Structure 1
């Protein structure tokens, strides 16, 4: 998915005004302001914000340059992370659009904070001119600007934007940090406690409170807090590492600096913008956070996600690569990098990246490695990381058992597959995917047919538009010898999944059994055009070559009934 908000519709009259009527033929137009603008716009629409920034900047050097090109240059500089350059070209004056000027003021404020000019940042952030949609970001940043300017009375005031729950909630986090900075520890703890009440408190807030407790020498309280959170977020790496640190009585992380606190503050509205699918603003805010704190790894992860969604694969990979090995987000970053390589068709590099990340036993990395191996049909190799995950899980996890059972089934080891699938079903009896997978295994082997058919029917009832599940149901009726019923259901499955070779193969078999031989041959021939796996291809080719229909029973019935029709031959 591209960053659709980056796509700009440029009025025809503006393009005409931009064009250089004297530009010579033969491609020289690309060096005119008009050509550079178009090149920059194309790069921006493709998510290549750094390249776009270069084109726009070159366009602005011309005396012919209209104001809109300057705005595009500013936007591209922000999105590519060149915040100092963006601050130098922040739109001002009556000719600039109001939206660009508001973002420009926020950029100027952040750049001032990053440069240690808290007074200037505070004046910009408290100006009414910032306005919508940047009020939330400005409100959360304001106390940090006040702190940098040395006014701790203003810094410890909780920001207030009427009706803005984000400011109300995360403004309390900022206030807690500011109270700690001025050694008003009781008031800081009151805020931290309010933010982390209940078992579902977000891990980032639990970590903030826990680190505060560790800094106060209250490691036992910190461990209890981490334990409570880990009961809900069992696989959270950062929480687990914090618990280990507190138990080992190692030094607690220092309280956030002004720049670090401001970076965290602006990431909050960035996440809200991302959730609201305002990708351009989300990326702009994350870039601003990195201007304040370039070592903020969760921000680099967000850059990777946003640039990947925009289609700039290289920028995404570069962002994920910024996360160092000793960081809690390293495994997640490497997992995203591996899937990026997989998506680009570089299978060996994807698997190598995933394998290196999994060497430390991180659950996220192990799961990525297993999923990549299964995606590339390397089922036997996938068993080892899946075994590690199953054995290290604090309690049985049906998803892991299901994944391992599916890998065993694809390897041809049905006894182990059946055991894992039954164990997964015992943990989650109503899960349609398990019901369908286990039941189909029985159906395909002619075992426990009545029980299997009931299981598949339950799966279909839960997912009535699943061609794969409807195929399992039709194949169950086929195995029971109810061929007319099987044809009816398998035709529905093909209608939903027309390109699935296995479903088409099944329908061909069902057509054959009800005497619709020409249609059966058509289906088997169609199977060979749908990139079937080796087993399905061999089955379809054998039926077409032999002329005796599906299976030994079908062959015997056909031999007794009539000569093989010539239409079977290729």
Structure 2
């Protein structure tokens, strides 16, 4: 369940009037300090003479901050970008590129007050940029200066284009803020007739009607799925139905929504409706809240486009600034920052959602996955523990915790998390159980509890008989234990048929043949594996062993040397000293020494498993 509005790509296309700073390639190199902005030269004008004075070193003046700011921008380090762009603006206060770049960085970093000061200074010094005008308008809303906002956006004309949609939406809410309810509703009705944006505008018209007490008119608009079928629309309609004494209808609507068990805002509303507690209409409490939702609508449109637009974060930040209690705005800010790997900036937004009782399981699961992918495992584990505490009956939370523990090789600790998830999924459809069974099986196998692990693998295979990684894991485990060898080989062969290009599974097949003494048959799949995994020391080591067994001794030595050149570690399941021994004395001698010492033949490495 998302905030997505109808026809968001079209809405994003209508934002043509708002432009971001040009790319660094489109901007001239920074001017030396003290030079005034020059007019564009005529086509026949000679090139300006080079300054006689030596240029300032790169780390001083404008060039240093500008280049540092560009690098920070590329890395999405908004705080550093803001610091350096502000320094650059101080060196060249009339450069519009630098001004807009500073505004983008400041707002992205959450420094809204500083951005407002800069935007107002830009407007006061001359013609504002489109971005500074947007921020100035948000500041007028924040101050409750409705007359100032209306003067700034102007009045609609007969030839007003669709690109003025945002200004029209601001005008509608501004009129309501100025006490001109009839004119406000008329403005929203006018905008709703623009092609392609009717449902989105009608949502705001419904909010405006509800705010002035026309609940019947608001409910009629929200009953249209194209207008109200999103989380804020459902919440607003439920609250409006309560004002109309239609609580049973509101409860039925909420309980019929798919995935509602993961939406705390709607669940809390349902419980209030059921218990007869007072329910106020507060999805939009003021015109400023309405404008915050306008910005949120445009943020959603920009974020969902094929090429996500940087302005999505700007609009989301402004929405959260104008209406800090709107959980959807904070959530969008947090998610955009998370997508850009700015976890330190995203965390305060997630913390605010938790304090508001608005922790969203779907968003938290995505956050946990992102933190884990960024190797911030301590934070990911903390987030998973918080999610299980907040939603102890949500199996996905326990699976996420188990996965994190398993990925950190805390296998014994992972097992109880999967136990809890599977207990919660006892009556769920079988397809919901296969992965936690598989994941618990891995944790059990690595915890040396193979009997339980085997039962989980077999149960998972019964549900998903065509899951290649699952078949590979059990088959490889049986090969390792010298058990069920024929059945093990069948499982791995089937896994190869299902994923013929998977290097890990090809390696499993080749090593199964090797352990069964079928050396010639092991050559082809291992050579195929090395084509996709040439940088894996384990696969190179395996291929060396297989070459040795088929009499290709020189090629075996080359593969072992290759494996050593890749700097194998314990996490690669490769013993460098053993490889050196094979290079020194040959594989047969090493195996004989190990047999005499009572060691098993070449330890079989952990089979590769899917992460999810």
Shift of 1:451: 4.9
Match of 1:110 in 2: 138
Shift of 1:386: 1.9
Shift of 1:465: 3.0
Residue of structure 2 aligned with 1:269, choices 294, 298, 314: 298
1:209 aligns with 2:237: yes
Residues 136-195 of structure 1, C-alpha deviations (whole Å, 9 max, x = no match): 54455443333223233344334337443xx33322322222232233333322222222
Residues 115-150 of structure 1, C-alpha deviations (whole Å, 9 max, x = no match): 223344345456689x99975544554433332232
Paired residue secondary structure (1:252): coil
Residue of structure 2 aligned with 1:9, choices 3, 24, 44: 24
Gaps of 5+ in 2: 1-19, 36-50, 597-612
Pick closer, same or farther for the CA change 1:63–1:266 going to 2, 3 Å.
closer
Distance 1:283 1:76 in 2: 10
Match of 1:564 in 2: none
Residue of structure 2 aligned with 1:405, choices 433, 441, 452: 441
Shift of 1:236: 4.2
Paired residue secondary structure (1:327): coil
Match of 2:176 in 1: 147
Gaps of 5+ in 1: 557-570
Match of 1:252 in 2: 279
Match of 1:219 in 2: 247
Pick closer, same or farther for the CA change 1:323–1:19 going to 2, 3 Å.
farther
Paired residue secondary structure (1:421): helix
TM-score of the superposition, structure 2-length normalised? 0.74
Pick closer, same or farther for the CA change 1:469–1:184 going to 2, 3 Å.
same
Residues 429-468 of structure 1: pairs in structure 2 closer than 5 A: 429-449=465-485, 451-468=487-504
Distance 1:445 1:420 in 2: 17
Pick closer, same or farther for the CA change 1:216–1:527 going to 2, 3 Å.
farther
Paired residue secondary structure (2:325): coil
Contact 2:475/2:489 (CA < 8 Å) preserved in 1?
A: yes
Residue of structure 1 aligned with 2:73, choices 44, 53, 59: 44
Pick closer, same or farther for the CA change 1:125–1:346 going to 2, 3 Å.
same
Q: Which has the higher contact order (CA 8 A, sep 6+)?
A: 2
Contact 2:32/2:62 (CA < 8 Å) preserved in 1?
A: no
Aligned residues: 541
Distance 2:161 2:33 in 1: 30
1:278 aligns with 2:308: yes
Paired residue secondary structure (2:588): coil
Contact 2:100/2:129 (CA < 8 Å) preserved in 1?
A: no
Residues 83-232 of structure 1: pairs in structure 2 closer than 5 A: 83-90=112-119, 101-122=129-150, 124-125=152-153, 135=164, 137-156=166-185, 157-158=188-189, 159-160=191-192, 162-164=194-196, 167-195=197-225, 201-230=229-258, 232=259
1:291 aligns with 2:318: no
Pick closer, same or farther for the CA change 1:328–1:85 going to 2, 3 Å.
closer
Pick closer, same or farther for the CA change 1:471–1:142 going to 2, 3 Å.
farther
Pick closer, same or farther for the CA change 1:187–1:536 going to 2, 3 Å.
same
Match of 2:414 in 1: 382
1:80 aligns with 2:109: yes
Match of 2:40 in 1: none
CA RMSD of aligned residues (A): 4.2
Distance 1:479 1:439 in 2: 12
Distance 1:253 1:463 in 2: 56
Match of 2:7 in 1: none
Contact 1:206/1:226 (CA < 8 Å) preserved in 2?
A: yes
Match of 2:600 in 1: none
Distance 1:36 1:375 in 2: 41
Range 257-266 or range 488-497, more displaced: 257-266
Residue of structure 2 aligned with 1:423, choices 459, 472, 478: 459
Pick closer, same or farther for the CA change 1:539–1:219 going to 2, 3 Å.
farther
Range 481-490 or range 510-519, more displaced: 510-519
Pick closer, same or farther for the CA change 1:424–1:242 going to 2, 3 Å.
farther
Range 494-503 or range 61-70, more displaced: 61-70
